[in-house]
Amino acid sequence: MIRIRQLQKSYGANPVLRGIDLDVAAGEFLVVLGQSGAGKSTMLRCLNRLVSADSGELHVAGLDATRPGQTRALRRQVAMIFQHHHLVPRLSVLKNVLTGRLGHLPTWSSVLQLFGNDDIALAQLCLEHVGLANKASARADTLSGGQMQRVGIARALAQSPRVILADEPVASLDPQSARMVLQCLRDATRALGITVVCNLHQVDYAREFGDRIVGLTHGRLVYDSRNGALTDADLQRIYPKTDATGPAPHEDAPAPIYGRLLEVAP
């Protein structure tokens, strides 16, 4: 589903990704570990062209993610969940989920936010997947942080994606809410056969939820395992005690808000 070969990206004179090679299978839940500035967020943003790679091969859902002409088609196949949920506070939960359908509407319907019955039914089903069907009519700003992030997952599912990219989706949540969010994400995507690439800092969550764990350090892939048996030596490679190069500028800069995404599944 995802194929990366010698992916390189720099911000000015500072290299962020230094020749990443990585394959992710269809339906796999891949967790990416690494320090802030290791290149995790930049790698995800290259996958749907929120940033452009400097060089390398990058194929996602059968599309060449290095070609500007493929951007719209790529974003119709790839959904993104950010650290901050990016909900519209004054809208209902259901309408927030329906914004995931905007890329499938004609321009005039998109501008007027006119959704058909099929779109509404799909949005309601996505809320069921994350356990929030009873909150459909509530305003988004009345929800807890964990519930808001689950709405973000439902919105991503409503796009009918083949791939979901999750960039630190539980960084601001308490442990109980974080586990609930990750459980919802894993269960929903397994039920629908969606590939997930999820950036995390928490090693315990990576072991608990990831089908596979990879580690980035200074823009290089230094760990790759399917059994989650991280040793102290593995963790030292992923989280070195000293960082001579320092964090990459812009690595944690806010990403642009989701755009037009994802093909409707038949």
**Residue bearing the bigger pLDDT, 20 or 265:** 20
pLDDT digit string (tens) for 133-184? 999 999 999 999 999 999 999 999 999 999 999 999 998 899 999 999 999 9
| Average pLDDT, integer, range 55-62 | 94
Given pLDDT bands bounded at 50, 70 and 90, which one contains residue 254? very low
Q: Are 181 and 148 within 8 A, CB to CB? A: no
> Which regions of 41-89 does DSSP assign to beta strands (E)?
55-60, 63-64, 78-81
Residue 101: predicted pLDDT:
85
Q: What's the rounded Cα separation, in Å, for the pair 70 and 73? A: 5
Given pLDDT bands bounded at 50, 70 and 90, which one contains residue 244? very low
Please determine, for residue 258, whether its predicted confidence score (pLDDT) is greater than 70. no
The average confidence (pLDDT) of the chain is 86
What is the maximum span of the chain, computed from C-alpha positions, in angstroms? 56
Residue 113: predicted pLDDT:
59
At 51, give phi and psi (nearest 5°): -130, 155
Question: Which of these CATH numbers, 3.40.640.10, 3.40.50.11820, 3.40.50.300, 3.30.530.20, describes 1-77+161-256?
Answer: 3.40.50.300
Residue 183: predicted pLDDT:
93
pLDDT digit string (tens) for 186-230? 998 899 999 999 999 999 999 999 999 999 999 999 999 987 778
Strand partners, 32: 199, 214
Question: Which residue from 219, 243, 216, 223 is spatially nearest to 18, judged by alpha carbons?
Answer: 219
Q: Are 127 and 133 within 8 A, CB to CB? A: yes
Residue 261: predicted pLDDT:
30
Handedness of CA 261, 262, 263, 266 (dihedral sign): negative
pLDDT digit string (tens) for 81-135? 988 878 999 999 999 999 888 766 545 444 455 688 899 999 999 999 999 999 9
Q: Are 38 and 243 within 8 A, CB to CB? A: no
Residue 250: predicted pLDDT:
41
At 198, give phi and psi (nearest 5°): -125, 115
Whole-model pTM: value is 0.85
Residue 104: predicted pLDDT:
64
Given pLDDT bands bounded at 50, 70 and 90, which one contains residue 75? confident
List the domain boundaries for the chain: 1-77+161-256, 87-160
* β-bridge pairing 63-64 and 163-167: unpaired
Tokens of 259: 């755009």
pLDDT digit string (tens) for 21-32? 999 999 999 999
Between helix 175-192 and helix 117-129 the angle, nearest 10°, is 130
